[in-house]
Amino acid sequence: MAQASRATKASKGPRALGLLELSNGNARLIPIAILIDGQYYDAGAYKASPVPMALWSDTVYEGVRTGVSQGLFTVKTALENPNTHQWLGEGTWLPASAIHTKSASKESSSIPRGMNNEGEGPPVLRHAGAAKPKAPDASPAAPTQKQVNPAPAPAPAAPQAGAAGPPASETTPAAPAVSSAPDKDAPTLKRGIPAARPPEPMTVTPIPTSKHGNASKSGPVAAPAQLVPAISAVDGAELRPYSYSVKPEEEQLFRKKMLAMAADEVRARAKLLTAQTIAAPAANPATRKSAAAKVPQPDFEDVQLRIFDLNNSNEPVLILSAKARLPQNPKQTEANDLQYLVTLVARQDVNADFHKAFSSVTDTRHLDVIPQVELIDAVDVDGDGPGELLFRQVSDAGTAYVVYRVIGNQLYALFQGTP
């Protein structure tokens, strides 16, 4: 119980949650939720006057994957889709490897930029191993023979009238003075640490759309973007990994148990659809008996199993995502082409018993009623240390995001977005 307790208090905010899409060196941010005074709001609409607070210029987000920092994203420009009014943030992405390289260079040279080796004045170049130069004396040093200037020569007498002047080759006219305006872009040296630059005004650029309302696409098809949750906050618990290490044989055991639970969920969904299909006409007892027969074992594909230790209590939380099809039935031709989309969340206690915490089963024909639930990752949304689960819901109405917290054997929604 001591390990599973939430020792750190949840942050009251402001704390923003977003989703980074990284593709071919480019990055953009989808605002999801923002925590203000302990309450969650839609980050794409909170204080949108006109730009939402989560997409203000120079706002820094830290990308985290399973609790491990991946880099920093700085918002530079906010874009709005004029048809859907969806906001996106574009900016610069700095991977964690580049951050470590910069921090190492800063540790090797701790002198602020624009300062010399003594911490003041402009930089001074020196040879390796040279001693610190001494300040010059106030009194001028005695000049050497090479530094002694000869006595100024007497001014030549004015030429008499009628006398011929010197030849043109011996006269050197003085060069005229050239006055040029100062270059405003020329660098200048200043003492001390330079003051911070004022933030640049925010620019809002509409997302280009096609006549169908979707973003216009040009060029070759790019690779699928990587989805990385991102947090922007000034406080919160230290990052810690949420991964749960298992041996290969233990992972196979987990996979087998989760697939068995998922098969029961698929059969229950298929039984419900069959009951709805035969409920309209008056069915005879034989038809009812055949419909109530046991559904065969489904065939799974695209199986993905993620295992987390959200509370650092050595009690794994397992999330299975898969697609399933039932064997074809010649009497039910409409149900043969159905593909079931399964997302199952279970928790294993200290006695190695599995408990179902969440289940979502839909099919390709009923996405307008039951959305498909896809796991994004585990992330500390409220800043108290333990992780929460971030899901994406995809339906015919659009895409929405939901954040769940695992408490016991149930999932509680902390934030539910709208499509």
Q: State both tokens at 68.
A: 């491990």
pLDDT tens digit sequence for 4-25: 445 566 677 799 999 999 988 7
Burial 147-159 (b: 16+ CB within 10 A, else e): eeeeeeeeeeeee
Rounded CA-CA distance 35/12 in Å is 7
How many of the other CB atoms lie within 10 Å of CB of 47?
14
pLDDT 10s digits, 288-334: 555 445 557 899 999 999 999 999 888 999 999 999 999 876 565 55
β-bridge partners, 22: 27, 226
Most confident of 89-98, 161-170, 220-229, 281-290: 89-98
Does the model's pTM come out above 0.85?
Answer: no
At 268, is the secondary structure helix, strand, or coil? helix
Q: What's the pLDDT score for residue 383?
A: 93
Q: So what's the pLDDT on residue 286?
A: 55
Residue 362 has pLDDT above 90, yes or no: yes
Strands (E), 43-160: 60-65, 68-80, 87-95
φ, ψ for residue 329 (rounded to 5)?
Answer: -115, 120
Average pLDDT value for the chain: 77
Question: Residue 68: pLDDT band by 50, 70, 90 thresholds?
Answer: very high
Helix (H) / strand (E) containing 238: none
Q: How far is CA 173 from CA 157, 161, 163, 168, 169, in A?
A: 18, 21, 20, 10, 11
Residues 6+ apart with CB under 8 A from 358: 343, 344, 345, 404, 410, 411
pLDDT tops 50 at residue 216: no
CA–CA distance, 402 with 419 (Å, rounded to integer): 11
Mind listing the pLDDT tens digit for each residue in 168-193?
444 445 544 544 555 555 555 444 44
Q: How large a percentage of the chain has pLDDT more than 90? A: 48
Chain-centre distance for alpha carbon 120: 38
110-162: pLDDT as tens digits: 555 544 445 554 444 444 455 555 555 544 444 444 444 444 555 444 444 44
State both tokens at 158. 């004015």
> Would the pLDDT of 101 be above 80?
no
CA distance 312 to 216: 45
Q: What tokens appear for 24 in the block?
A: 């071919």
- pLDDT score at 295: 57
SS3 for 248? helix
| % of the chain residues with pLDDT over 70 | 61
H or E element in which residue 362 lies: strand 354-363
DSSP E strand stretches across 203-339: 204-206, 226-233, 299-308, 317-325
